[in-house]
Amino acid sequence: MQTQPMTGLRMSDCGCTQLDPWYGTAAALTEAGARPRCTGTRDTTISWRLASPMPRNAPDPLELANGALELRRACDSGQSCEVMLDRMLSVLRGFLAFDIATFAEYAMESPTPSAATPLLIRGRYAVDDGKPFPWPARWLHAPSGIMDWTEGKDVAASDIDRFFRFDPSFRALRKNPVVEAYLARGVRSFIVAVHREDGRPACSLTLARKGGPFFTEEDRRALSALELADTLRLVLAAYRAKSAAFHMEIRDLFAQHARPEPVARIAVERLCEQFRWDYVAIFRVAHARARFELVQQHNASDKKLLVHEGYTQPFGAGVLGQVLRTGSPIRVEDTSKRSRHGYIQIADDARSCLCYPIVLDGCVEWILDCESSEVGAFQQPDEAELGILVGEAQKTIALWFEMRLNRALLENIDQGVVVVNQANRIMRLNSMAAQLLGASANDRAIKTIDPDESRARDEFRAREAPSIQGERLDRFGADEDAKAVLTTGHVAAKPLRLRGADGLERNVVASSRDAEDAFNRRIWRLTDPKAWDWVTALEYMRTTVQGVAQQTRGPLLLANALVSRAHGRVGDNPDLRGLLSKVRASLLKTDITYERLVDGLEVERRPLGAPVAADVKVALDAFMNELPEEDRKAVTVTLAEPIPAAWVDPSRLRFVLHSTIGYLLATRLPETVITVHLHGGPRHVAVELTTSVHCDDDFMPRSGAADPVAGARAGAQEATAHALSAVRRVIESNGGKLKITRRPGCLAIRFTLPAPPRGRTRTAGREPAHA
């Protein structure tokens, strides 16, 4: 029987048009007189209602037109691809009976297809008796004869058995796992609607019967009138939109997560889910250690594909080494066979692999390793689709890389920082490094992040030097020793002499590290001798303070214990008991930590800090919560609402509060109360601290014989006023004022801080208001 050529559908003598790997949902109830009714959801079982037996003659043209409209409505946007296909099958069962239905996409085995190029078919959706069943193979390799048939040639076969006998090349399909699953389910005949793009098949929907009559010419005509092949383009578009959304999801990972670890973990899991791959791993190309290092892996199957944690592989070995050498993706069809790529069998069940490089700044930085327990699981379409995804991700990774490098520069803002690549060429540098290397203003202006950048640019505006971006760092060594150190790296701290691009020689202290957080780039820190002297002085101070603390802490604790013991032996003398209590309280306040001294030195060095809009009330509450209960009860806080924000570095604000309130607490008598009052206006915030000083006759100096306790207390109060000099520098550097008032029986401290500039009122530390 000669068939009529029709778009998208072809019916041959066997009642089928084309081999597709998957087939559809059961329709035994349809043949028995039941007609399906779709509920519109993927997870619900299709319900059925009784209807009159299916007519054997062609359906009414009006009914077919309505059916075509219903098929398009089944593909409305806003639903998953699977729900679209479920709804389409519900419509189709009203016109013909079938048991199995499958939706498949088509691809060519070669990126430059020809008439003899084999066709690749990938199943996306498969149901039998209304229940989804798994896809037994990733790809079906269809012989070129089927490709010719889809281009318009008829296939003469009355059923599936005759189909295999029609062309000798079709017989090999019986051994394909997809076709084996098809036959195992009892399929006897099938009919296929094919949607074509640019003259080639793009996707298809296959309907298959296990029993009953074969598909007939009337069935083909019915599907053609329903315009099923054309409607399939809507399903294909939905799958493509899903793929595009996945690409965006992977790009967004780098915006949602700052560190590489969670990005890698989520990426390998989602790649397995999206592509239905068994296993995906990410390997870091650790250039400094000349090896590949496992970053993250995910096994989505029950096969033995995982490698042990901490796995490494030397450069030059295996497929990873081949990818690094060529910079190109590599596929291994069968890992059990000897491969020119040198595949290393690590996982027991790995049978095929696809490795893809991820490139940054022209260098391979990571490699995606995709493995499968199935031979030939990865084909050219996988490589092409993964290439598009990686290409898009690389653009986002480049921005992410810039962010992380800039963060590395910011974290070392007081030192010269130079970032070099694997070839020891300068990639980034901050303004201090540009100064020490005699670089041009252009290098500092474009490739730096430094709050003092404008000041540095002004200092060197008169002296231009050639750009050093891309130059080897070792060329700046002024002698052979410096060149050797700058070439090999891995130094803790070493004095070097540099010759800058401007021809001037400078002394620096250099150190380097290979930064994991900056994608294994080497980061050099260059410090000028003055700054190094400061750092050295801090180290000496740390050693000295720790030694002094060890020597004094024991005697102080012993003195406190002796006073406590004496307190229990004084009897009923209230005055002596009071004096001993005051001595004990003073002893407990003499333990000054190293961290507190460093804070004071940092304030001396940089009193301004980095001002932001800070909530003074929140800072005061935080300080009060850290006080011992006895001291906290001695401080009374009052405020006039509302309290505006202050423009000050939060750490400097804490230093001011700690110094003022802390010093008053250290010099007060136990019964003395400290009052803190907050108020402010549109231009400033004011803090007033007042403490009452008791002047008992017992503590007043007498003529001819000065009381040593009264003298000590007076000296402590005087020391308080002198210690507030650092506080004064902080307040005045931030645009505020400090006033100290001493009068008999009272010590008052008042300071103000400016309000934030216009447009900078977002407050650090203050909870946002909720409607």
Q: Which helix (H) or strand (E) is 23 found in, with range?
A: none
Please state which of the ranges 38-47, 406-415, 594-603, 655-664 shows the lowest mean pLDDT.
Answer: 38-47
Nearest to 567 by CA among 582, 557, 588, 556: 582
The DSSP string of 619-651 is: HHHHHHHHS-HHHHHTEEEEE-S----EEE-HH
pLDDT in tens, 339-396: 777 889 888 899 999 999 999 878 898 999 999 999 889 999 999 999 999 998 888 8
Contacts of 663 (CB under 8 A, 6+ apart): 720, 723, 724
Q: How many CB atoms lie within 10 A of CB 42?
A: 15
Q: Which helix (H) or strand (E) is 42 found in, with range?
A: none
Question: What's the one-letter identity of residue 112?
Answer: T
35 pLDDT band (50/70/90 cuts)? very low
> Per-residue pLDDT for 736 more than 70?
yes
Strand residues in 397-520 grouped as ranges (E): 416-420, 426-429, 494-499, 505-515
> Per-residue pLDDT for 164 more than 70?
no
Q: How many CB atoms lie within 10 A of CB 465?
A: 19
Rank 269-278, 356-365, 492-501, 556-565 by mean pLDDT and report only the highest. 269-278
Average pLDDT rounded to a whole number, residues 10-29: 36
Distance CA 580, CA 713 (A): 15
Q: How far is CA 529 from CA 474, 484, 511, in A?
A: 20, 21, 13
Q: How many CB atoms lie within 10 A of CB 744?
A: 6
pLDDT in tens, 579-611: 777 676 666 555 555 455 556 667 777 788 888
* Residue 109, token pair as written in the block: 């085995």
Q: How many CB atoms lie within 10 A of CB 273?
A: 12
With a threshold of 0.85, does the pTM exceed it? no
Using an 8 Å Cβ cutoff, are 652 and 609 in contact? yes
> Per-residue pLDDT for 554 more than 50?
yes
257 pLDDT band (50/70/90 cuts)? low
Using an 8 Å Cβ cutoff, are 343 and 353 in contact? yes
Higher pLDDT, 414 or 550: 414
* Residue 101, token pair as written in the block: 């239905």
488 pLDDT band (50/70/90 cuts)? confident
Using an 8 Å Cβ cutoff, are 656 and 731 in contact? yes
pLDDT of residue 427: 82
Q: Is the bond preceding residue 329 a cis peptide, omega within 30 degrees?
A: no
180 pLDDT band (50/70/90 cuts)? confident
Using an 8 Å Cβ cutoff, are 305 and 347 in contact? yes
Distance CA 701, CA 712 (A): 11
CA atoms within 13 A on the CB side of 254: 17
Using an 8 Å Cβ cutoff, are 494 and 485 in contact? yes
> Per-residue pLDDT for 8 more than 70?
no
pLDDT of residue 44: 33
Please state which of the ranges 53-67, 222-236, 404-418 shows the lowest mean pLDDT.
Answer: 404-418
Instruction: Write a three-state SS string for 651-704.
Output: HHHHHHHHHHHHHHHHHCCCCCCEEEEEEECCCEEEEEEEEECCCCHHHCCECC
Distance CA 381, CA 385 (A): 6
143 pLDDT band (50/70/90 cuts)? low
According to DSSP, the residues that pair with 206 across neighbouring strands are 102, 192
525 pLDDT band (50/70/90 cuts)? confident
Distance CA 335, CA 447 (A): 46
Query: Edge-to-edge, what's the strand order for the sheet holding 763-764?
Result: 646-648, 612-614, 763-764
Higher pLDDT, 481 or 166: 481
* Residue 371, token pair as written in the block: 């493995």
Using an 8 Å Cβ cutoff, are 108 and 117 in contact? yes
Nearest to 129 by CA among 197, 48, 241: 48
Distance CA 175, CA 161 (A): 14
Q: In the chain, what are the helix, strand and coil shares in percent, each to the nearest 5?
A: 40, 25, 35
pLDDT in tens, 420-477: 887 888 888 887 888 888 886 444 433 433 434 444 334 433 334 457 888 899 999 9
> Per-residue pLDDT for 136 more than 90?
no
Does residue 489 sit in helix, strand or coil? coil
Q: How far is CA 297 from CA 53, 210, 270, 271, 519, in A?
A: 55, 42, 11, 11, 19
Q: Which helix (H) or strand (E) is 204 found in, with range?
A: strand 200-209
> Per-residue pLDDT for 727 more than 80?
yes
Distance CA 743, CA 758 (A): 39
Q: Which helix (H) or strand (E) is 569 found in, with range?
A: none
Using an 8 Å Cβ cutoff, are 296 and 268 in contact? yes
Sign of CA dihedral 49, 126, 12, 203: positive
Using an 8 Å Cβ cutoff, are 226 and 92 in contact? yes
pLDDT of residue 6: 35
Distance CA 550, CA 277 (A): 62
Contacts of 749 (CB under 8 A, 6+ apart): 660, 664, 688, 689, 690, 724, 738, 739, 740, 741
Does residue 363 sit in helix, strand or coil? strand
Distance CA 103, CA 127 (A): 9
Q: Where are the alpha helices (DSSP H) in 342-439?
A: 380-410, 431-436
> Per-residue pLDDT for 145 more than 60?
no
Rank 41-55, 100-114, 567-581 by mean pLDDT and report only the highest. 100-114
Counted residue by residue, the chain has a size of 771
Question: What's the one-letter identity of residue 507?
Answer: N
Distance CA 437, CA 417 (A): 11
**CA 73 and chain centroid, separation:** 39
Q: How far is CA 579 from CA 82, 558, 717, in A?
A: 85, 18, 18
Contacts of 418 (CB under 8 A, 6+ apart): 426, 428, 429, 433, 437, 473, 523, 524, 526
pLDDT of residue 463: 39
Q: How far is CA 435 from CA 255, 412, 428, 457, 459, in A?
A: 33, 15, 13, 9, 10
* DSSP state letter for 5: P
